[in-house]
Structure 1
Amino acid sequence: MAVQANFENIASYLQQFSHDRSIPPLEKWNPDYCGEMDLVIKANGEWWHEGRPIRRQKMVDLFAKILWKEQDDYFLKTPVEKIKIQVEDAPLLISAVDQVEIDGKQYLQMTTQNQDVFVIDAEHPIYMRAFDGEMRPYVKVRYELEALVQRNVFYHLVNYGELYDEPNCTCLKLHSGDAQFTLCM
């Protein structure tokens, strides 16, 4: 099947989810591998198809719902096809952080640029890792997918945490519910 046909088939399939914010049950789908698509998620969060940026945020939001990761490879996955794409860094970006109270405990709530909302906990940890020679903060979102915490969001995170110095680095201690996370830079 031609790459353009795959892009159009996936876009058509996703229209049924366009009003629904929930993520489809990707873990239950075992479609055949259909090849690669010229789709790249850039390190800055932009989605490019065939060398051009995808400008329609609704389209990006729909494709983000069917992102899937296996080992170090990324795919768009539907019940009938699995198409490999390229991801330069993390496929998602964290665009907002808030503090919310749940059952009397304070949690850090993250929102991706595609409107995924979740709290930081053992299933969704926040951590530092290197990319392109620089230590950057990331969060595990779903299905082994991670999101880069954007710089402006990280500055807000500092307000919710406690900074302290260690030999050779500065650390940020964060609490979310009963979980504690330490980010050293």
Structure 2
Amino acid sequence: MPEYANSRADALLPDPPMGAGQPLCGDVDIRIAADGRWYHEGSPIGRHELVCLFASVLKRDAAGDYWLETPSEKARITVEDAPFLAVEMFRAGAGREQVLSFRTNVDEVVSLDAEHPLRLAEEPMSGSAAPYIEVRPGLEARLTRAVYYHLVGLAVFEPDQASGDDGDGDGDGKVPFGVWSDGHFFVLGRLDPEDAELPPA
């Protein structure tokens, strides 16, 4: 990756074709690996400030493609999983009044709330939970294992949240457990009543 005296993101993308508007630069050989590392032409981008600069202009379109987009240029990149990692969690308050916030590997801080919900997917190989939080529209951060364990450590059982904020209650009689943040309950899983031993919030 060349060094540029001008740190503007549009100076780091390939030269666009001539013409007005926001020309497409096509695909560029930039990849965000599943572990959150950024690569250019197969080599790691070692400068954290440069990664943060790229991340600040990252967008995702309706088709699921990821783009580095500036007022003058637009280039598509490859993202293996989520573009960001949630590497640290903060807690303000307690119980139903608490607010949980996460710092990403590109130093963005986002609070878990209705606009930045939690999503649980299933690891295709292990079948274990893969947790994500929405950072910006269409852009998620995957919680690292340590952060997820920290989150689970705050989980409570809430029998009166049978559907939870995720609205996927299935009437199977299981008790949802999850975390409160910004007045919303985010379900992490469900257990049989006899296994629900955590105290309520």
Give the TM-score category using the shorter length: 0.7 to 0.9
Residue by residue over 1:136-174, the C-alpha shift from the partner in whole angstroms, topping out at 9 and shown as x without a partner, is 00001102101100001011112222269xx8x996411
AA partner of residue 142 (structure 1): R
In 1, are the aligned partners of 2:90 and 2:101 still within 8 Å (CA)?
Answer: yes
1:23 maps to: none
Matched, 1:143 2:129: no
In 2, are the aligned partners of 1:69 and 1:75 still within 8 Å (CA)?
Answer: yes
2:75 maps to: 83
CA shift in 2, pair 1:131/1:70, >3 Å = farther
Matched, 1:55 2:83: no
AA partner of residue 79 (structure 1): P
What residue ranges of structure 1 are gaps of 5+ in the alignment? 17-29
Matched, 1:69 2:60: yes
AA partner of residue 160 (structure 1): L
In 2, are the aligned partners of 1:89 and 1:131 still within 8 Å (CA)?
Answer: no
1:21 maps to: none
Q: Percent identity of the aligned residues?
A: 36
In 2, are the aligned partners of 1:126 and 1:139 still within 8 Å (CA)?
Answer: yes
Equivalent-residue separation in structure 1 for 2:61 and 2:153 (angstroms): 35
Structure number with bigger Rg = 2
RMSD: 3.1
Which is helix-richer, 1 or 2?
Answer: 1
What residue ranges of structure 2 are gaps of 5+ in the alignment? 12-20, 159-171, 191-201
User: TM-score scaled by structure 2?
Assistant: 0.71
1:130 maps to: 122
Aligned residues: 163
1:175 maps to: 180
Which is strand-richer, 1 or 2?
Answer: 1
Equivalent-residue separation in structure 1 for 2:24 and 2:3 (angstroms): 17
Residue by residue over 1:13-70, the C-alpha shift from the partner in whole angstroms, topping out at 9 and shown as x without a partner, is 2399xxxxxxxxxxxxx83322110001001111110011111111111111111000
In 2, are the aligned partners of 1:158 and 1:172 still within 8 Å (CA)?
Answer: no
